[in-house]
Structure 1
């Protein structure tokens, strides 16, 4: 049997279904907005969050403020600037410049750089020795060091070989030209030594001597010098002068302990021209050794740099001009003191202890100016 619904009955059945579908569609559409609303509400209820990161509860490992020693790049030591001097500047500064106020300009010298170091640099006064003693000259002792000074000395001899007395006067100057070389000059001012005693004595000028000196090596504790004396026959043979001779000599100076200074040297004296026979000149081998001790500081004037010493001199004739080979040995004490303003007083007594004697004894004194 075929059943068909009437239109009115179908319309009444469709409205309830339509209403249910509309309700479901509205529910689905409102779900996202409610979720968003609930999310906003949840966010409103949360505590505010900081905008920066939180500080860690444990402090970071401290870092060293300096790099490890092995990583530090150390700069090379700064070397003193060595100025280039002209020849004239080197000589002028050495002769008349200030060579005492800046000891840092002094430098050590040795044999290895003898021909390459020091020749183009002005001379500078060296420092005190290893023990604190100053490099200074003594009467009747080998020098062994460089100076810039002048010394006026007087020597009186008692009991010369002719049983008379005699005297000599000399002006000695030391003039450095650079750190390696200086010139010593000895001007014989007077000599009255005569062949037959005071009754027949004459006073004349002595021979003039010029001595180039080379500084072989120098450190704080020691100095070594080689020099050659060139004696010219400017004096009178009557006084034992008028001789031309050459004297190569090695000298040394040392100070290793406190005020103790040991100095000396060896050399030869070889006359080659002039009135050799009349003056009684001989070729000789010479030696000197002097030992002294400094007792006071430099500024304790008039007894500053006060030193007492003993000097020993040895002379051996090595030619055939005389009847035999003569050996002469003399020794005696000496002193030196700083009077002030770089003026010094010196004295020494020398006694002959071998025969034949050149004299019984000799008394020497001198006044010195360091400039």
Structure 2
């Protein structure tokens, strides 16, 4: 138990040191001139409703060194492709790393959920940038299952989640972000929801060579409250993700534009109570259908003895606006 906790701590420390080195390196390529301020409210309005895609030259590199002084009063602008030419996009069941302005609806089917039937889930998410340094994400879930011991299927709203996302640094090749997810116990314990938790994560995205994209991150899932811990039975855990993908087509090759295939690995290791380790692999894809509509698909497969389901099929429809 202690050795696993030590390993988790060392991994988290290593990621933090790597983040610091990457972030402090960004100023070497940063622009020397500063664009005019949009003001706090102006930056919010332009970020949410303005044309953030029409003028790529408006994008500016941001450094970790200038985190508190740069970007808070300027509108977010969609960043350019990475050094290899790959777009900054999100994938199912992987950490984000970068900012977006979009909405996505995801359906999930988990086979043999908790060895008591199957689970059907749906989640609507919105990514809403307010300036170059901050955006928030809202997750609105619905879930249907029989829980761990129930005899009948229960369909209810799941746990609402609001995520504050801070852009630590961004260059052409690398983006880093700090994310803090606040989970509210709005769901039902009958569905193994009703959990209150805070989940801070560090995430990054990279593209140096052709269509190859690597994204990863690590953090901690920290539940709190009697219902979360004593009734639902969740435990604090160290979590980590590593995803690698390759883009094969240009954006304009609809309905197979920006076609990417990837593999995402997720790790969870409890850090209190009985030691439980979970690892899953998720092969997936994403394609541009046209008009900034995207279709995403993936299959998550647990590869450890401890698992909540045999496999989970995911499908999503996304609109970038």
Which TM-score applies when normalising by structure 1? Answer: 0.76
Structure 1 residue runs of 5 or longer lacking an equivalent are: 1-77
Distance 1:124 1:226 in 2: 19
Answering whether residue 156 of structure 2 is matched by residue 204 of structure 1, we say yes
Distance 1:80 1:109 in 2: 12
- 353-362 vs 121-130, which moves further: 353-362
- For the residue of structure 1 that corresponds to 2:123, the secondary structure is strand
Structure 2 residue runs of 5 or longer lacking an equivalent are: 1-30
User: Aligned runs of 1:34-45 on 2, under 5 Å?
Assistant: none
- The total of aligned residue pairs comes to 290
Relative to structure 1, is the Cα distance of residues 274 and 203 closer, same or farther in structure 2, using a 3 angstrom cutoff?
A: farther
Match of 1:349 among 279, 299, 306: 299
How far is 1:201 from its partner? 1.8
Distance 1:366 1:274 in 2: 34
Partner of 1:233: 185
Relative to structure 1, is the Cα distance of residues 193 and 250 closer, same or farther in structure 2, using a 3 angstrom cutoff?
A: farther
Instruction: Deviation per CA, 1:295-333: give whole Å up to 9, x if none.
Output: 00000000000000001000001111xxx2000000021
2:142–2:155 Cα contact (<8 Å) kept: no
Partner of 2:38: 85
2:81–2:172 Cα contact (<8 Å) kept: yes
- For the residue of structure 2 that corresponds to 1:309, the secondary structure is strand
Match of 1:136 among 70, 76, 89: 89
- For the residue of structure 1 that corresponds to 2:47, the secondary structure is helix
Answering whether residue 281 of structure 2 is matched by residue 331 of structure 1, we say yes
1:233–1:274 Cα contact (<8 Å) kept: no
Answering whether residue 205 of structure 2 is matched by residue 271 of structure 1, we say no
Distance 2:75 2:34 in 1: 14
Instruction: Deviation per CA, 1:276-310: give whole Å up to 9, x if none.
Output: 22222111100000000000000000000000000
1:132–1:259 Cα contact (<8 Å) kept: yes
Flag as ranges the 4+ runs of structure 1 deviating above 3 A. Answer: 78-81
2:144–2:153 Cα contact (<8 Å) kept: no
Partner of 2:167: 215
2:48–2:129 Cα contact (<8 Å) kept: yes
Instruction: Deviation per CA, 1:8-41: give whole Å up to 9, x if none.
Output: xxxxxxxxxxxxxxxxxxxxxxxxxxxxxxxxxx
Partner of 2:65: 112
Distance 2:159 2:92 in 1: 19
Relative to structure 1, is the Cα distance of residues 253 and 237 closer, same or farther in structure 2, using a 3 angstrom cutoff?
A: same
Which structure has the greater CA radius of gyration? 1
Distance 1:192 1:160 in 2: 8
User: Aligned runs of 1:68-79 on 2, under 5 Å?
Assistant: none
**Which one has a larger percent strand, Structure 1 or Structure 2?**
2
How far is 1:274 from its partner? 5.3
2:176–2:202 Cα contact (<8 Å) kept: yes
Relative to structure 1, is the Cα distance of residues 79 and 273 closer, same or farther in structure 2, using a 3 angstrom cutoff?
A: same
Partner of 2:127: 174
Match of 2:240 among 284, 287, 292: 287
Answering whether residue 100 of structure 2 is matched by residue 150 of structure 1, we say no
